[in-house]
Every structure is written in C-alpha cells, then in structure tokens.
C-alpha cells in the first residue's frame, strides 16, 4: 500500500495538486454505474478523495507499528478503503486480495463479538482450554524444533530478499510493478501512478460490403462485454470478475496498433468468425450471417454524459467523438502474409 502511495505522489502532478479524482472515474479501465455519478461530484469532494487516498496509502501503513489499537484502526481503514474502490470501479480481484492482509490486524479479542458466548459454547470451551494450558509448555520435540528452524530461515530469507525492495521504495527513482529476483518472491506494485485526462476507445467494426471504401458501405459495431462501446449501454458491474480482453483494449487505445499487434490478430479471427474469439464479445453483428468481408478499428474519444443534459435525456451514458482511424479496413486475404510473418496460425479459410 505504501508503494502505491509513493508512486502516486512521485508521479503524476495531479496527485500533488489534488485534481486526479476529477478524471479517474471517467478514465479508469472499466467504469461502473457508480463511477458515472461520482465523476459528477463537486470539485471539493474530489479534493477530499485525493487527500484521503494519500492519508490511507502514505500514513496509515505506519499504524501497524504503533500498538494494538492503531493496528486495528489500520485494518478497518484499509478494508473500508478497498470497499470504496470496489464500489466505484471494476478493478477485478485486485482490491479483494488487498483486503486479505488487513485481516491479520484483528486479534481474537477484536473478533470475539462474532461468536456466541455462554456456558458450553465454542468460545467458552476455547477460553477454558487456554486457561488450562497457561504456563504449561510441552517439552519441545524434534518436529517442532525443525518447524521453528524452517520458519526462522524463511523469515531471514524474505528479509534478505526484501532489501532491494525497501531501497527501491526509498529511492527518488522508484520503479513500480517489477520484481527483484528470478523467482518473483518479492516485488513492488503500484496502480494509477499516472492518470489519463481523456478517455479513448477502439471500436471494432465490420462490413459485408465488397468495397470497404464505398460511401454506402454499412459498418456495424462489435460490442465487448464490459468496455464502453454503444453510448446508450449502461456501464457494467463485474467486480471481482476480470474481462482480460476488455482491459487490454483500454491499454491499446493509448497507443497505435503497431504497439499492439494482437488487435490485428483479433481482427483476423473476427473476419473468420472464430467461435472462441466471438465468445469473448457481447455482441456479434454478423451472428447468423456470413462473416464480414472487412474489419476496421475506429478511434473515439469518450466522455460521460451530463446528468440532466440532452444526451442523458436520450438514454446515453457516454458522449463520443471520432478521433480518426485506428487501423484501416482489413480483409482475410490481406492478413495472410501478416499472420505468416509472425508465425500465427491462420484463422478460418485463410
């Protein structure tokens, strides 16, 4: 958690001037319906959110070293923080997993209220067993000695391997999302060190027209299961599930198809009506029909519609504007050498 806070405060300037949350809800990988409304919160609320993020990620981790009560407060704050992130976005299983270490902050006395008490209850029997064995330590056995030695050795090993991790966190040239040994036992992770200020989307389209350049060619959109496409479709709610392809499309929109040649591989599969590829999509406009003759990628800029505005009144969650072509119209025949040069299996009738 501290690493995530450090990469933010050392990264994008918006984390320091408290404006990152003005953009995050709209530009995160896959917004959910709650994000739509949070994005339109007052400016002062976004400043409060950013300050709270810095407090949780940069200061609260040190509560672990300040005694039992501070440790419990750490656990409560971290779990609540992750719950807020889950409610406000589809960040897959990341936030759910981040909650798990915080459970260690709660000892038996803290969690005792969750279990019934009274004579004969499980809680009462455990307390009686603890009273019976208090001060009576069994003679150490060979197995327990070996186990203790193994635990200490593992702790020393992890401490030694963590040295470069700690030095990296303290460095002004901190590197995130990397590992420090070949076994990947220790690493550093930090999300959203930089916040994109505008949302771009790649929209894949197909046409049955024999001439992709014809003015009357009808291009139809493929819809993904979660990422924005049709402006009238409500943002999805899938956490903790993870649609990997939708997530990759978010990254691809920042760059060109030359940096993401896998998207051309996907286009080839759509041209061949590959069943496995189509199963990853929510809508195939050519279902029950011959596959498209051409597939292209269009680049759009997306913004949330304004609640109460004209687009929202028309049932649109998004307003989009075409930026230009992401990749030109492609046919199966044109993709033959492209696939062979990369050693990809030729889909369908290729």
Task: Report phi then psi at 322, rounded to 5.
Answer: -70, 130
Residue 231 pLDDT more than 90?
yes
Residues of the chain above pLDDT 70, percent: 89
Residue 93 to residue 344: CA distance in whole angstroms: 31
pLDDT digits (tens, 9 = 90+) for 4-32: 667 777 777 888 899 999 999 999 999 99
Domain range summary for the chain, segments of one domain joined by +: 1-105, 199-342
Across 149-264, the runs of DSSP E, i.e. the strands, are 178-179, 187-188, 199-207, 220-221, 223-224
Contact between residue 183 and residue 16 where contact means Cβ atoms under 8 Å apart = no
Backbone angles phi, psi at 289, to 5 degrees: -130, 165
Does pLDDT of 350 surpass 60?
Answer: no
pLDDT in tens, 30-44: 999 999 999 999 999
Beta bridge partner(s), residue 286: none
Residue 139, pLDDT score: 66
Give the C-alpha separation, 186 to 78, whole Å: 21
pLDDT of residue 229 exceeding 60, the answer is: yes
pLDDT band, residue 134 (cuts 50/70/90): low
- Whether 225 and 235 have beta carbons less than 8 Å apart is answered as no
Distance CA 312, CA 232 (A): 9
Amino acid 270: pLDDT: 94
**Least trusted range by pLDDT, from 69-73, 183-187, 195-199, 257-261:** 183-187
Could you give the CA distance from residue 25 to residue 91 in angstroms, rounded to a whole number?
12
Distance of CA 87 to the CA centre of its chain: 13
Q: How far lies 86's CA from each of 37, 51, 93, 141, 160, in Å? A: 15, 19, 9, 47, 34
Angle at 149 between CA 143 and CA 155, to 5 degrees: 135
Look at residue 311 and tell me whether its pLDDT is greater than 80. yes
Distance CA(206)–CA(262), nearest Å, equals 17
Residue 305 clears pLDDT 60, i.e. is over it: yes
pTM, 2 dp? 0.81
């Amino acid at each position: 958690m501290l690493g995530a806070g450090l990469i933010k405060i050392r990264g994008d300037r918006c984390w320091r001037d408290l404006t990152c949350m003005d953009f995050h809800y709209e530009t995160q990988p896959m917004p959910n319906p709650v994000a739509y409304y949070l994005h339109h919160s007052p400016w002062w609320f976004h400043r409060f959110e950013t300050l709270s993020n810095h407090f949780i990620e940069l200061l609260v981790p040190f509560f672990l070293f300040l005694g039992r009560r501070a440790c419990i407060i750490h656990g409560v704050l971290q779990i609540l923080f992750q719950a807020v992130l889950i409610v406000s976005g589809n960040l897959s299983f990341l936030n759910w997993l981040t909650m798990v270490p915080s459970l260690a902050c709660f000892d038996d006395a803290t969690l005792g209220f969750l279990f019934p008490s009274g004579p004969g209850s499980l809680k009462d029997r455990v307390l009686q067993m603890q009273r019976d064995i208090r001060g009576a330590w069994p003679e150490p056995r060979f197995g327990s000695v070996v186990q203790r030695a193994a635990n200490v050795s593992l702790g020393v090993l992890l401490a030694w391997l963590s040295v470069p991790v700690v030095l990296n966190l303290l460095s002004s040239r901190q590197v995130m999302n990397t590992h420090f040994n070949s076994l990947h036992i220790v690493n550093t992770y930090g999300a959203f060190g930089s916040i994109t200020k505008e949302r771009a989307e790649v929209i894949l389209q197909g046409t049955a027209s024999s001439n992709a350049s014809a003015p009357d060619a009808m291009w139809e959109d493929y819809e993904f299961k979660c990422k924005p496409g049709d402006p009238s479709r409500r943002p999805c709610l899938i956490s903790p599930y993870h649609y990997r392809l939708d997530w990759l499309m978010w990254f691809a929109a920042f760059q060109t198809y030359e940096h993401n040649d896998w998207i051309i591989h996907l286009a080839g599969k759509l041209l061949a009506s590959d069943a496995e590829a189509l199963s990853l999509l929510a809508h195939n406009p050519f279902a029950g029909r011959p596959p498209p003759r051409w597939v292209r990628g269009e680049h759009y800029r997306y913004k949330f519609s304004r609640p109460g505005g004209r687009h929202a009144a028309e049932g649109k969650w998004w307003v989009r504007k075409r930026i230009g072509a992401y990749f030109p119209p492609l046919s199966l025949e044109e993709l033959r050498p492209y696939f062979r040069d990369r050693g990809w299996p030729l889909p369908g009738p290729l």
